[in-house]
Structure formats: structure tokens, C-alpha cells
């Protein structure tokens, strides 16, 4: 089985309060997309296999920049990984679909990872791949939810009413990379393609598309180091953890 990774890096940095794409925002001296690509390429499955094709979806205006950045990671890995950098879509779902269209014929295991999770441990990547190879057609890493979760209704300017407290014992917060048998992911994207162009209807993750297609999704243990960088605070925390400032 041949592994490919689609690395989504086409998002803006608007919620970070920056004027540059999130993927090229530096942490500890290197852009987020560089950290994420390095982690994906460093992972080794139980049989020793690794990612052989890396497809990066990037903002159209920054394709050359992202290609140069990730190309440096591929060169440093001293591997024969195929690198493709393509323009992303209007939504994450569209971007992943664009990435899937670039896969070579030999690929049968696909990882989908967000550049916004730059410090995913390689062992987590391998854990996802191993679960797919064990026979699970769709695999996501997840962490137990530690906060009390409440379902709320529509409210007014003063707040919103609580409808119920959701038992958290069976809840997990899902991370990436998510792993799939290629045919399963491609079919799910084909079925959901009509909803992928608008933020209001696009799937927030690929496992959601697969679930909607009736395919079971398997959860493996996640890792706190795979936290998502979304806000300026997240960026500060990521920098502190990486440089040892919080040690």
C-alpha cells in the first residue's frame, strides 16, 4: 500500500490578525507549513513505509513561495517523495478535493492533514496509517473532551438557553491527520461535492463526509501536541512550547 498526504495550507491568517496566509506564519523561525510537512515525512508506519507523495494546497498567490518552503523539507528528508503544490479551493472541502485529484495511481492510503496543526508527532501520523492498514477504511485521532458540554437553543442579546448537558464520556475532540482508504475518501468527496463550495454547507472535516456516506469511522488516541493554531493566543502558545519557554 502506498501512502499519500494532502496537506491543506490554503487558509487565510485573518483570525490570527495577520496579513499573510496562515501556512507561512513563522513559529520558532519556520513557517507552520514547514513544521507540518516535516512531521508527515518523518512518520514511519509499522512496516517501515512512509509518505511517498505530498500534495500541498496553497493560496493561489503564494504557490511559488509554498513550493520553495516545502521543497526544502523534501530535499532535507533525502527521499524520493513526489511533491505537488496546487491552488486551494474556496473551502477546506474543496481544497482537499483539489488535492485528491493530484494523487498518482499507486496511492491507496490517503492522509489529510491541516498545516494549522504544525507540531503533530510523527508517531501519531504512523498510528493513523497503521489503523487504516489494519482494515479500518476511515481513521481519525481524537482526545477526550474534558470540559462540560451543553447543547443550547436560540437566544437573544442576553444569551442562549441550555437545552441539555451532553454526557462527555463518549465524546472526543477530533484532530488531524485523518486517514482513509483512497477509494472510500474519493467516493465520499464525490457524493458531497455539491455542498463543498460554500462555508455554510461544506464539511468541516473529511471524516464527516465519510460518515454521511455511511462508512464507519475509527478513532485512535490523539495527542495534545497536535493542537490547532487558530488564534493569536494559539500562536503564542505554540511558539512557547516549541522554544521551551513553558518548560
In the chain, what are the domain boundaries? 2-243
Supply the pLDDT for residue 195: 66
pLDDT, tens digit (0-9, with 9 covering 90-100), for 99-112:
999 999 999 999 99
N- to C-terminal Cα separation, the chain: 40
Q: b/e for 99-114, b at 16 or more Cβ within 10 A?
A: bbebbeeebbbbbbbb
- Position 147 pLDDT exceeds 80: yes
CA distance 107 to 90: 25
Half-sphere exposure in the Cβ direction for 168 (13 Å, CA):
11
pTM for this structure? 0.92
Angle at 158 between CA 149 and CA 145, to 5 degrees: 10
State the CB neighbour count (10 A cutoff) for residue 22: 25
For domain 2-243, the CATH class is alpha beta
* Percentage of the residues of the chain whose pLDDT score is greater than 70: 94
* Percentage of the residues of the chain whose pLDDT score is greater than 90: 74
pLDDT, tens digit (0-9, with 9 covering 90-100), for 11-55:
877 777 777 888 999 998 899 999 999 999 999 999 999 999 999
DSSP 3-state assignment of 31?
strand
Task: Taking the CA atoms of 179, 181, 184 and 189 in sequence, report the sign of the dihedral they define.
Answer: positive
pLDDT, tens digit (0-9, with 9 covering 90-100), for 205-219:
999 999 989 999 999
Cα–chain-centroid distance for residue 247?
Answer: 27
State the CB neighbour count (10 A cutoff) for residue 17: 9
Residue 233 phi/psi, 5-degree rounding, is -65, -45
DSSP 3-state assignment of 51?
strand
- Position 198 pLDDT exceeds 70: no
Is residue 70 within 8 Å of residue 83, measured between CB atoms?
yes
Amino acid at each position: 500500500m502506498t501512502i499519500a498526504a494532502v496537506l491543506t495550507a490554503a487558509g487565510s491568517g485573518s483570525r490570527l490578525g495577520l496579513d499573510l496566509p496562515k501556512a507561512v506564519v513563522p513559529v520558532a523561525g519556520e513557517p507552520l507549513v514547514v513544521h507540518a510537512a516535516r512531521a508527515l515525512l518523518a512518520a514511519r508506519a509499522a512496516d517501515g513505509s512512509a509518505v511517498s507523495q505530498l500534495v500541498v494546497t496553497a493560496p493561489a498567490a503564494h504557490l511559488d513561495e509554498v513550493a520553495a518552503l516545502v521543497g526544502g523539507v523534501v530535499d532535507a528528508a533525502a527521499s524520493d517523495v513526489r511533491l505537488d503544490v496546487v491552488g486551494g479551493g474556496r473551502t477546506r472541502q474543496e481544497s482537499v478535493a483539489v488535492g485528491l485529484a493530484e494523487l498518482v495511481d499507486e496511492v491507496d492510503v490517503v492522509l489529510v492533514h491541516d498545516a494549522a496543526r504544525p507540531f503533530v508527532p510523527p508517531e501519531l501520523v504512523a498510528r493513523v496509517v497503521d489503523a487504516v492498514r489494519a482494515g479500518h477504511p476511515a481513521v481519525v485521532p481524537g482526545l477526550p473532551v474534558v470540559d462540560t458540554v451543553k447543547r443550547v437553543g436560540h437566544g437573544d442579546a442576553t444569551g442562549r438557553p441550555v437545552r441539555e448537558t451532553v454526557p462527555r464520556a463518549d465524546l472526543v475532540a477530533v484532530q488531524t491527520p485523518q486517514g482513509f482508504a483512497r477509494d472510500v475518501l474519493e467516493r465520499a468527496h464525490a457524493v458531497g461535492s455539491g455542498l463543498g463550495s460554500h462555508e455554510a454547507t461544506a464539511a468541516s472535516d473529511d471524516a464527516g463526509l465519510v460518515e454521511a456516506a455511511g462508512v464507519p469511522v475509527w478513532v485512535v488516541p490523539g495527542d495534545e501536541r497536535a493542537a490547532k493554531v487558530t488564534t493569536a493566543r494559539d500562536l503564542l502558545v505554540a511558539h512557547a512550547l516549541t522554544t521551551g519557554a513553558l518548560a
